[in-house]
Structure 1
Amino acid sequence: MSQKPPLPPWPAVVGLACYKCFKEDDVRLSRCSGCLRISYCSPACQKLDWELHKPLCKALGAVEKSGPIATTLIAALRKQPTIDLNVLNNMTQAYIDTISLFCQASLQRPPTVLEWSLFSSEPRCLVCTRTDQLIRMEAANNGAEKSRRLIPCPECNLTFCCSPEHWDVGCSLHQGPCEEALNGLSQCEMNSKIHAHMKAKTFMKSAHNFPERFRWYPERIKSAWMPLSGSSWEAEFDDEMRKSAGNPTSHSMTPLILEASDNLTMAMTVLCALETLHDGDEWTRQHALRVHIIGANEIEATCGVFEEILHCLPQVKILKLVLCGPDMPGGDIPKAVVLETCSECKQLGRKHIQEHVADKYHNFVERQGSKFEKPHLCIAFNSGASQVSTRTWLPTLKLLVQGKIPTVFTSFNREEAEGEAALLRAAGAKLHPALGPCKNPWGSINLRPSKHKIYGFSADSGWLAGGFR
């Protein structure tokens, strides 16, 4: 079986690194003249990639030759720049929808994941959403022989404008504090941080066989529950990561903590939610702690990081997780799985038990009937409830609210969090003020640019959409 090609890193997707070999330093890049989206460092790399890129490249080129589509796209462009993000995001989404539908018809198949990445991450002007292809179409429509190109930010090279005049408008947005970035950084500063981390990760992969997804949690059991309020990723994990890596004090553990946060965010968000939604600390002394993960999928079932919950709660003997969602593998009859734990947990007779249920949560609860055990927490990680599956979530939301089940929803970004908060309120939930919609203090700190947008960042459980009890 042939392996799927890896998803190119962000610089390659926006044409600032070779789309085939991903090199960006000490190379001369040439833009693909057909789609104007990607670049190559040599004719050899372009030739090696052509078989994979050719179908989409030709489909994108056909957009310009299709009179009605080209006219529609040009007519939708703004004459004046704006920093109204709702306007810009709606324009971007409408453009992507139009392009993707046309290309799907041209390809006579759904786009691949690689092709979707080019739809969603195409460089565009920060304040008018023009792309290089749109600029070329405009020039052709006006009878011009040559078109200009997008201008990258001279500092980060990863945000663009179509003219110096548009830079003057977008500068305050690009260089001012960004709510979705870390620690109040600007989009420009966050772009540079993400880019630097990607370079470091590429080096670690090539030099040290660093895994694509870094699955790590500390192999220790705390002597007592330590409240998370006021703590941070570095405060919780720097010493433990240092012990695992065997690094001297002078070496920063931040890059490794950043990578580990992608998985650890689930366990840490569960602990944060339990601490916030329960009065006192009685929940930390339960013999069996029950957590239900709703809208669960196979990734959550196989990550194994939930043992960190046991490690932070030394008085809990059994962690019982129910992972319930239509995308879970297996059937709708709960299947109990006893997971392997660390040697210290084994010696202490502690257990990590999971039940996997391939069904919607309200159906699962209904079938359980009198056997249903109310969990100490229900949590939905990055559910997308407000984006693509609003109607199917409503029965579950009403059940959670009416059953007074402590519940938290997380989201990738602010827009999704605010949408899900509105859904929760519509279902009757009275949201806890500390649980959203707001940034999640235990969301992944491995940020990435929000897809389908020209501004903002997203992360696994980066935002709390809302919590209630």
Structure 2
Amino acid sequence: MQPERVPPLPARMGLACYKCFKEDGVRLSRCSGCHRISYCSSDCQKIDWKMHKPMCKAISSIEKSNPIAAMTLFFSLPSEPTTDLNVLHNNTEAHGSNILGFCERSLQRQATIPERNLVGWEPRCMVCTRTDQLIRMEAVKNGETLDNSKRLIPCPQCNLSFCCSPAHWDAARALHHGPCEDAHDGLSHCEMNREVRADIKFADVMVDAMQDAGGQFRWASERIKPAWVSLNGLSWEGEFGEEMRRSVGVPNERPMGPWIRAASDTLTMAMTILYGLEKLNEDGGWTRKHTLTVHILGATMKEIGGAMVFEEILHRLPEVKTLKLVLCGPEMPGGHVPRTIALDTCPECTPRGRKRIHEHVADTYHGFVQNKGSKFEKPDLCIAFNSGASQESRQTWPATFKILAERKIPALFTAFNREEAEGEAALLRTAGAKLHPALGPAKNPWGSIQVIPEPNKVYGFYAGNGWLAGGFK
């Protein structure tokens, strides 16, 4: 039985039914309590009411009976529209933190992930950060009549960015339609939003079609390259587009974008490993090793669930006979003693005697190294995908950084966005690591191109392995 899905982005933003997630061909009605989410029918609302009721009451209490909250929320709003992203993001993060704090005090508990998502992805004006709730509160304060005109205006092209008035859209237009740093191929913020919408619809279709893979589309190439080819200057589309089209049967007239972006979300792990190995090694000796060993730090169920994509490493390194991955992290199943698992290889690799071996270790990496003692063997690469070391996981990583730097173990760390990458790079330098100039902090050319709009911000996106935080040896 599949676990119940967390409402996708359009549902969090009131653009799709919060219960069944339908968006097209339905008439949506806002919840009359919180005005934050929408339903396509009274049946969906009734079914969902038990789950939504606590947060609904918490959100609506801010507007109806909390003058302290109102004063706090209005205090930081800019009087004029601005495109200064630091100002805008500081405002939205402060606003989101305040709203969540008020709600959790009302709930008398921590908010769940879906409840936090309602706060993080609340629609806001791109150039003044006002929300629908703040617009209503201002209207009441000024003695105005509440009607549907007191609501944010969505971009007619992407429907994922908003402004509170036509004048503010005039101020936001250059920012919204200009090149976006977090985008690929020079796309604008608006164009990236449209890709996000397409990817969400693609994911909805895949939920039922890919039940054996947890409802997520995963794909790996079956061809074996005749020799190692440098990844410099290559692209997701160029490397995988045509083979994927043939593999999944997409007609020539249809774009491959959603398929490639979805596949990149897991394939990024294998491609980033290869990119890091290429940059950290001056010669090609690593491409001809009998056994290539990679340690994945802070590993979780994502690496276990996406195990098939790591065979891409063998497929690009035809002279390597065995790929050994050690998946090490406190969240891994099992115990401190490594649990060895021999995985199948593809029909082309098996007759050639090629092997994939995974070891699962439920421990921190510094704990793993210390427990191994004199038996520890330096891997070809240690990699941590989206470690969160500079934000969520500050306590567990410093000892690992230190042991990697002191023992000169080849390592690469990735991050979701620039802010995390720069913060992590500073921590690595503090631990004594000398970062390779090509490995961060910088955008990762083999990061996932399936992006997600940043929560508590009006502009920008994040992606799995989207940035390289730092590599060293």
TM-score by length of structure 2 reads 0.93
Displacement of 1:19 in angstroms is: 2.1
- Superposition pairs of residues 58-97 of structure 1, within 5 angstroms: 58-64=57-63, 65-97=65-97
1:233 to 232, 236, 245: 236
Please tell me whether the aligned partners of residues 289 and 318 of structure 1 are also in contact (alpha carbons under 8 angstroms): yes
Deviations 1:328-369 (A, max 9, x none): 221122222212222332222221112212121112112212
Q: 1:356: which partner in 2?
A: 360
Give the stretch that moved more between structures: 209-218 or 418-427. Answer: 209-218
Displacement of 1:214 in angstroms is: 1.2
Residue 7 of structure 2 is aligned to residue 8 of structure 1? yes
Q: Where does structure 2 lack aligned partners over 5 or more consecutive residues?
A: none
Q: 1:117: which partner in 2?
A: 117
Secondary structure of 2:396's aligned partner? helix
Q: 1:345: which partner in 2?
A: 349
**C-alpha distance 22-94 of structure 1, shift in aligned 2 (>3 A):** same
Residue 448 of structure 2 is aligned to residue 431 of structure 1? no
Structure-2 separation of matches of 1:246 and 1:79: 54
Please tell me whether the aligned partners of residues 201 and 210 of structure 1 are also in contact (alpha carbons under 8 angstroms): no
Percent of paired sites with the same residue = 61
Give the stretch that moved more between structures: 382-391 or 137-146. Answer: 137-146
Q: Which amino acid aligns with 2:370?
A: E
2:299 to 296, 299, 308: 296
Structure-2 separation of matches of 1:112 and 1:4: 15
Please tell me whether the aligned partners of residues 74 and 137 of structure 1 are also in contact (alpha carbons under 8 angstroms): no
Structure-2 separation of matches of 1:210 and 1:145: 52
**C-alpha distance 336-135 of structure 1, shift in aligned 2 (>3 A):** same
**C-alpha distance 453-466 of structure 1, shift in aligned 2 (>3 A):** same
Residue 172 of structure 2 is aligned to residue 170 of structure 1? yes
TM-score by length of structure 1 reads 0.94
Displacement of 1:210 in angstroms is: 9.9
Please tell me whether the aligned partners of residues 199 and 262 of structure 2 are also in contact (alpha carbons under 8 angstroms): no
Deviations 1:25-73 (A, max 9, x none): 3333222222121122333332332222222111111122122222212
Displacement of 1:142 in angstroms is: 3.5
**C-alpha distance 207-357 of structure 1, shift in aligned 2 (>3 A):** closer
Please tell me whether the aligned partners of residues 203 and 216 of structure 2 are also in contact (alpha carbons under 8 angstroms): no
Residue 277 of structure 2 is aligned to residue 278 of structure 1? no
1:218 to 221, 225, 232: 221
Q: 1:441: which partner in 2?
A: 445
Secondary structure of 2:324's aligned partner? strand
Secondary structure of 2:181's aligned partner? coil
Q: Which amino acid aligns with 1:38?
A: I
- Superposition pairs of residues 5-154 of structure 1, within 5 angstroms: 5-64=4-63, 65-146=65-146, 148-154=150-156
Secondary structure of 1:322's aligned partner? strand
Q: Where does structure 1 lack aligned partners over 5 or more consecutive residues?
A: none
Secondary structure of 2:55's aligned partner? helix
Please tell me whether the aligned partners of residues 411 and 461 of structure 1 are also in contact (alpha carbons under 8 angstroms): yes
Aligned length: 468
Secondary structure of 1:178's aligned partner? coil
Please tell me whether the aligned partners of residues 26 and 40 of structure 2 are also in contact (alpha carbons under 8 angstroms): yes
**C-alpha distance 366-120 of structure 1, shift in aligned 2 (>3 A):** same
Q: Which amino acid aligns with 1:225?
A: W
Secondary structure of 2:342's aligned partner? strand
- Superposition pairs of residues 255-404 of structure 1, within 5 angstroms: 255-304=258-307, 305-404=309-408
Q: 1:193: which partner in 2?
A: 195
Please tell me whether the aligned partners of residues 219 and 342 of structure 1 are also in contact (alpha carbons under 8 angstroms): yes
Displacement of 1:80 in angstroms is: 2.6
Structure-2 separation of matches of 1:250 and 1:83: 39
Q: Which amino acid aligns with 2:56?
A: C
Structure-1 separation of matches of 2:447 and 2:280: 17
Deviations 1:215-238 (A, max 9, x none): 211223222112111111122112
Displacement of 1:284 in angstroms is: 0.4
Please tell me whether the aligned partners of residues 220 and 312 of structure 2 are also in contact (alpha carbons under 8 angstroms): yes
Please tell me whether the aligned partners of residues 204 and 210 of structure 1 are also in contact (alpha carbons under 8 angstroms): no
**C-alpha distance 43-248 of structure 1, shift in aligned 2 (>3 A):** closer
Structure-2 separation of matches of 1:261 and 1:235: 13
Please tell me whether the aligned partners of residues 444 and 460 of structure 1 are also in contact (alpha carbons under 8 angstroms): yes
Please tell me whether the aligned partners of residues 132 and 151 of structure 2 are also in contact (alpha carbons under 8 angstroms): yes
Deviations 1:117-159 (A, max 9, x none): 2111110111221111122222333443427211111222210
Give the stretch that moved more between structures: 115-124 or 192-201. Answer: 192-201
Structure-2 separation of matches of 1:208 and 1:330: 27
Please tell me whether the aligned partners of residues 206 and 217 of structure 2 are also in contact (alpha carbons under 8 angstroms): no
Secondary structure of 1:188's aligned partner? helix
Displacement of 1:450 in angstroms is: 1.4
Structure-2 separation of matches of 1:68 and 1:437: 41
Aligned structure 1 segments of 4 or more residues deviating by more than 6 angstroms: 206-211
Deviations 1:244-288 (A, max 9, x none): 224454443332222111110000100011011101110001111
**C-alpha distance 26-356 of structure 1, shift in aligned 2 (>3 A):** closer
Deviations 1:406-457 (A, max 9, x none): 2111111122112212222222222222212221111111112112221101
1:160 to 147, 157, 162: 162
Q: Which amino acid aligns with 1:110?
A: Q
Deviations 1:157-189 (A, max 9, x none): 210111223222222211111000121211111
Structure-2 separation of matches of 1:180 and 1:167: 21
Structure-1 separation of matches of 2:75 and 2:387: 35
**C-alpha distance 204-337 of structure 1, shift in aligned 2 (>3 A):** closer
Secondary structure of 1:392's aligned partner? coil
**C-alpha distance 9-298 of structure 1, shift in aligned 2 (>3 A):** closer
**C-alpha distance 88-403 of structure 1, shift in aligned 2 (>3 A):** same
Give the stretch that moved more between structures: 83-92 or 187-196. Answer: 83-92
Q: 1:456: which partner in 2?
A: 460
